[in-house]
Amino acid sequence: MAIRFWLGVVQRDHVLHGVAQGIAQFNHGSKAEVSRLREADGLIYYSPRVSFPDGDVLREFTALGRVADDSVYQATDGHQMTTAAGDTFRPWRRRIDYDREAHAVSIRPLIGTLDFTTSSPNWGYQLRRGLIELSRHDFDVIRAQMRAPSYR
């Protein structure tokens, strides 16, 4: 199977928590979303905000990694999530090998260069889905920026 590339849309505080655990989850722990990824697929996280639901606006690519294996699993420890109806559940996850040398970069200088930002004048609307497939071009461009020396 061919390697695919993904953009997960998650607030930065949740991304950092996932990086620390070596895991990824999308859309509040949806099994369907994490099941789309396969071993060796590339993953980049984009964080529109610092925290959920109304943290400061961020608009940065915040983590870079590869799917570690083909196992989709349900969390058995830690925080339980709650549905709108008040039911509790455990989120579905994937193991990710994160690039610890990558640093966050703004999307702003890349708008117009990335395929997914030139596909429509309202390109940001597609990010509401929480997980979109990226072209190889977009993944390579973002990865190069996240690995470039940081002068912060």
Give me the pLDDT at residue 149, please: 81
Side-chain-side CA neighbours of 80 within 13 Å: the count stands at 6
Q: What is the pTM of this model?
A: 0.90
User: pLDDT per residue over 19-64, tens digit each?
Assistant: 999 999 999 888 999 999 999 999 999 999 999 888 999 999 999 9
User: pLDDT per residue over 62-115, tens digit each?
Assistant: 999 999 999 999 998 766 666 667 777 789 999 999 999 999 999 999 999 999
pLDDT range class, residue 152, cuts 50, 70, 90: low
